[in-house]
């Protein structure tokens, strides 16, 4: 399988990442897997349909010093783009793609010290992906609303207690609004997943089916 070499032991899925990167790269309506070889820094895309993997393509190779965080369509051309962060400077960058083909790059906002870019989702429902940030010291979440690669506004999310970490966001109840998901590091299993809605819940409020006071 393209991008996967079980013989060499080069694990193609970056296990240090807190979430899988899934996006529809070939525009067929089925989400595809974006995978990453940590040894070669090569990316690859596995195309999926309801029956499983139907093909693959190599994507661009990530530059040294940069980490691949997520994939989302920043410029609204219908094709997912790579969101990268420089681990030293906090600078983010967008690599615009057409399918698996690199088109061009642009710098995006820099992440402040002690904050981590977790992923990108559209939280203010304007059709444009936004940054979900997490403060590694204070455990506060924040949203940066983007217009393509330009910061357009922001809002603070909940502050999580010690031993909990922000790991993802998805529209868990299909109401069109993504929710943050956090997991207790000491018990990393599905039963301990917690979903909270930023802005509406100023404290982390435990529930397995939505935001509760």
Q: Does 208 bind Ca ion (CB under 5 A)?
A: no
Q: CA–CA separation, 140 vs 127, rounded Å?
A: 25
Q: CA–CA separation, 67 vs 193, rounded Å?
A: 26
Minimum distance, C-beta of residue 208 to Ca ion, in the bound complex (Å): 26
Minimum distance, C-beta of residue 147 to Ca ion, in the bound complex (Å): 8
How many CB atoms are located within 10 Å of the residue 133 CB?
A: 22
Region from 19-27, 33-41, 105-113, 195-203 binding Ca ion, contact rule CB under 5 A: 19-27
* Residues touching Ca ion, count (CB under 5 A): 15
Residue indicated by tokens 């070499």: 5
Q: Does 46 bind Ca ion (CB under 5 A)?
A: no
State which residue, 79 or 115, has the beta carbon closest to Ca ion: 79
Site for Ca ion in 67-106 (CB under 5 A): 73, 75, 77, 79, 81
For the beta sheet containing 164-170, the strands, ordered from the edge strand earlier in sequence to the opposite edge, are 164-170, 179-184, 194-196
CA pseudo-torsion sign 58, 63, 69, 72: negative
The one among 5, 18, 22, 30 contacting Ca ion by CB under 5 A: 30
Region from 18-26, 33-41, 104-112, 174-182 binding Ca ion, contact rule CB under 5 A: 18-26
State which residue, 70 or 130, has the beta carbon closest to Ca ion: 130
- In terms of phi and psi (left: phi > 0; alpha: psi -120 to 50; beta: otherwise), the region of 18 is alpha
Minimum distance, C-beta of residue 192 to Ca ion, in the bound complex (Å): 29
Q: Does 128 bind Ca ion (CB under 5 A)?
A: yes
Tokens standing for residue 202: 């100023």
How many CB atoms are located within 10 Å of the residue 115 CB?
A: 20
Q: CA–CA separation, 164 vs 56, rounded Å?
A: 36
State which residue, 82 or 164, has the beta carbon closest to Ca ion: 82
Q: Compute the half-sphere exposure of residue 68: CA atoms within 13 Å on the CB side of its CA.
A: 27
State which residue, 21 or 183, has the beta carbon closest to Ca ion: 21
Q: CA–CA separation, 15 vs 36, rounded Å?
A: 10
Region from 22-30, 104-112, 173-181, 205-213 binding Ca ion, contact rule CB under 5 A: 22-30
Binding site for Ca ion (CB under 5 A): 24, 26, 28, 30, 32, 73, 75, 77, 79, 81, 122, 124, 126, 128, 130
């Amino acid at each position: 399988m393209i991008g996967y070499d079980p013989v060499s032991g080069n694990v193609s899925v970056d296990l240090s990442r807190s979430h899988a990167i899934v996006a529809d790269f070939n525009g067929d309506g089925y989400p595809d897997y974006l995978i990453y070889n940590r040894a070669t820094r090569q990316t690859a895309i596995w195309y999926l349909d309801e029956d499983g993997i139907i093909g693959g393509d190599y994507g661009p190779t990530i530059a040294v010093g940069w980490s691949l965080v997520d994939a989302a369509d920043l410029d609204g051309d219908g094709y997912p783009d790579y969101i990268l962060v420089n681990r030293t400077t906090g600078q983010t960058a967008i690599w615009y793609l057409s399918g698996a083909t690199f088109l061009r790059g642009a710098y995006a906002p820099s992440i402040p010290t002690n904050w981590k870019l977790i992923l990108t989702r559209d939280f203010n429902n304007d059709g444009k992906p936004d940054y979900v940030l997490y403060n590694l010291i204070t455990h506060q979440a924040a949203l940066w609303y983007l217009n393509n690669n330009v910061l357009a506004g922001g809002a603070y999310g909940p502050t999580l207690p010690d031993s909990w970490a922000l790991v993802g966001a998805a529209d868990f109840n299909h109401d069109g609004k993504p929710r943050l998901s956090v997991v207790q590091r000491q018990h990393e299993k599905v039963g301990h997943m917690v979903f909270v809605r930023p802005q509406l819940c100023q404290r982390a409020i435990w529930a397995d089916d939505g935001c509760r006071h």
